[in-house]
């Protein structure tokens, strides 16, 4: 990862949008300016002043129009490049601290979230200014992006306390909310990584000051920061290693197998048991003095010879939290990200704008396979087994610990012998 400063001395850069045809990052400064910087020459231009604490800006496809949210409650439109607030067309008013917007030019609509203890997600008709509430009871929402098929919105909510931030998926048809990522520090604006809309980035401000990547792909549904929780009895085998660094697996919370396993192909543990225990994937570049968490992809499968198997693929390229943190140690309060090209990101911070070059994880540095040893799920003997277990069921519930037996419906009906795993 590389971080290059392209502009300093800005007045709290917040939202931004990248104009690829001009190689220009257009952004708003909280002190009232609509500005731009040419990313190759670093030339700085002020398009207009007089805005009331602008929060976000989005460009039309041809780059001639800019839509701006103001903390005072307005959504306005201006024509570039001469764009003072006095020339703006007011589209909608009456919102509470509107923040990021997602622009849908095809349908002439914008989606905007409010920063409020019980904020709302609006859909705004850009022609009439009519606001429709899509979701409510958002806790200090800041960022929003939408799927192009209008199935879901993804919203960052800061909550009310330290570490209370989250990223939420909102069904645009029903308004129902599902938390994707929690425990965040002041999550701010979001942006899609590319047109496939399977990956997005978001910033965290305050003490975190980082850019994080969230992957929506069904191939690897969740990415972890070095640990995965297992339930019940499993075996462990290191089946692959491609990194030049020292790698290890660390077990914690088990009934008697806590410790480390060196990342050497063939190393194994016959049984690791416990109601809920953790496997940590870690790497060291100083001979084992300091260990850092690796990014992990968790890949479940059913293999006829073994039954239920979970393979953990680790990448040691960067430390992570909750999802892969692609850029940490950024200038104070990164607010928004624009994708320049591929893994080249432009990040707006309080007083400067930086260009971040990323290294793409390969998830082959250490590969560890876990086989579930519960005989009711992985019966001994030769296949075929008399059960069907889809890969989505790889996280079995805890076993029934009641010595009197299980009172679940299937045990009462005699379908299983307690304690069961239903």
Domain with CATH 2.130.10.10 in the chain: 2-209+329-357
Domain 2-209+329-357 is of which CATH architecture?
Answer: 7 Propeller (2.130)
Among 36-40, 194-198, 371-375, which stretch is predicted with the lowest mean pLDDT?
371-375
Residue 391: per-residue pLDDT: 41
- Kindly report the pTM of this predicted structure: 0.66
Residue 320: per-residue pLDDT: 32
Task: Give the length of the chain.
Answer: 422
Tell me which residue of 291, 287, 226, 270 sits closest to 252, measured CA to CA: 226
Residue 384: per-residue pLDDT: 44
Residue 297: per-residue pLDDT: 80
Q: Are 254 and 272 in contact (CB under 8 A)?
A: yes
Class of domain 225-318+364-412: mainly beta
Domain with CATH 2.60.120.400 in the chain: 225-318+364-412
**Three-state DSSP class for 20?**
helix
Kindly report, residue by residue over 308-348, the tens digit of the pLDDT: 888 898 887 543 333 444 555 678 899 999 999 877 899 99
Residue 63 CA to its chain's centroid (Å)? 28
Residue 74: per-residue pLDDT: 98
259-262 and 246-252 beta bridge pairing: antiparallel
Residue 301: per-residue pLDDT: 73
Kindly report, residue by residue over 229-254, the tens digit of the pLDDT: 888 889 999 999 998 889 999 999 99
When pLDDT is averaged across residues 257-267 and rounded to a whole number, the result is 96
Kindly report, residue by residue over 10-66, the tens digit of the pLDDT: 999 999 999 999 999 999 999 999 999 999 999 999 999 999 999 999 999 999 999
Residue 421: per-residue pLDDT: 46
Tell me which residue of 73, 36, 28 sits closest to 55, measured CA to CA: 28
Confidence band, pLDDT 50/70/90 cuts, at residue 146: very high
pLDDT exceeds cutoff 60 at 392: no
Residue 403: per-residue pLDDT: 43
Q: Which residues contact 375 (CB under 8 A, 6 or more apart)?
A: none
Tell me which residue of 75, 105, 104 sits closest to 91, measured CA to CA: 75
Kindly report, residue by residue over 60-104, the tens digit of the pLDDT: 999 999 999 999 999 999 999 999 999 999 999 999 999 999 999
Q: Which two tokens stand for residue 228?
A: 């995965």
Q: Taking all residues of the chain, what is their mean pLDDT, rounded to a whole number? A: 84
pLDDT exceeds cutoff 90 at 113: yes
């Amino acid at each position: 990862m590389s971080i290059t400063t392209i502009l300093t001395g800005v007045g709290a850069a917040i939202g931004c949008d990248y104009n690829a045809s001009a190689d220009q990052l257009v952004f708003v400064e909280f002190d009232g300016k609509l500005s731009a910087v040419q990313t190759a020459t670093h030339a700085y231009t002020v398009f207009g002043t007089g805005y009331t604490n602008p929060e976000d800006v989005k460009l039309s496809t041809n780059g001639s129009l800019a839509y701006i949210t103001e903390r005072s409650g307005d959504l306005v439109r201006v024509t570039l490049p001469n764009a003072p607030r006095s020339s703006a067309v007011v589209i909608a008013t009456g919102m509470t601290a509107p923040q990021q917007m997602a622009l849908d030019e095809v349908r002439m609509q914008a989606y905007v979230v409010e920063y409020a203890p019980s904020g709302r997600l609006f859909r705004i008709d850009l022609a009439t200014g009519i606001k429709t509430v899509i979701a409510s009871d958002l806790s200090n929402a800041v960022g929003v992006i939408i799927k192009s098929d209008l199935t879901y919105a993804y919203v960052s909510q800061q909550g009310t306390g330290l570490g209370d931030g989250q990223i939420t998926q909102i069904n645009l048809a029903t308004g129902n909310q599902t938390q994707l990522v929690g425990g965040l520090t002041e999550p701010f604006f979001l942006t899609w990584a590319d047109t496939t809309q399977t990956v997005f980035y978001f910033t965290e401000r305050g003490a975190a000051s980082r850019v994080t990547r969230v992957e929506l792909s069904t191939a690897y549904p969740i990415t972890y920061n070095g640990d995965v929780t297992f339930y019940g009895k499993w075996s462990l085998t290191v089946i692959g290693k491609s990194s030049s660094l020292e790698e290890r697996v660390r077990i914690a919370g088990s009934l008697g197998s806590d410790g480390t396993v060196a990342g050497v192909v063939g190393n194994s543990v016959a049984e690791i048991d416990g109601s809920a225990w953790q496997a940590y994937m870690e790497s060291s570049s100083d001979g084992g003095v300091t260990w850092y968490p690796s990014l992990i992809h968790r890949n479940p499968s059913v293999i006829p010879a073994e039954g239920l198997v979970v393979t953990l693929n680790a990448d040691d390229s960067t430390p992570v939290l909750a999802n892969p943190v692609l850029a940490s140690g950024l200038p104070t309060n990164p607010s928004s990200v624009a994708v320049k090209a591929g893994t080249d990101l432009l990040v707006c911070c309080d007083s400067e704008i930086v260009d971040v070059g990323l290294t793409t994880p390969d998830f082959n540095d250490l590969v560890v396979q876990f086989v579930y040893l519960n005989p009711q799920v992985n019966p001994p003997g030769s296949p075929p087994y008399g059960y069907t277990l889809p890969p989505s069921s790889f996280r079995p519930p805890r076993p029934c610990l009641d010595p009197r037996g299980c009172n679940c419906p299937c045990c009462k009906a005699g379908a299983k012998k307690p304690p069961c795993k239903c």
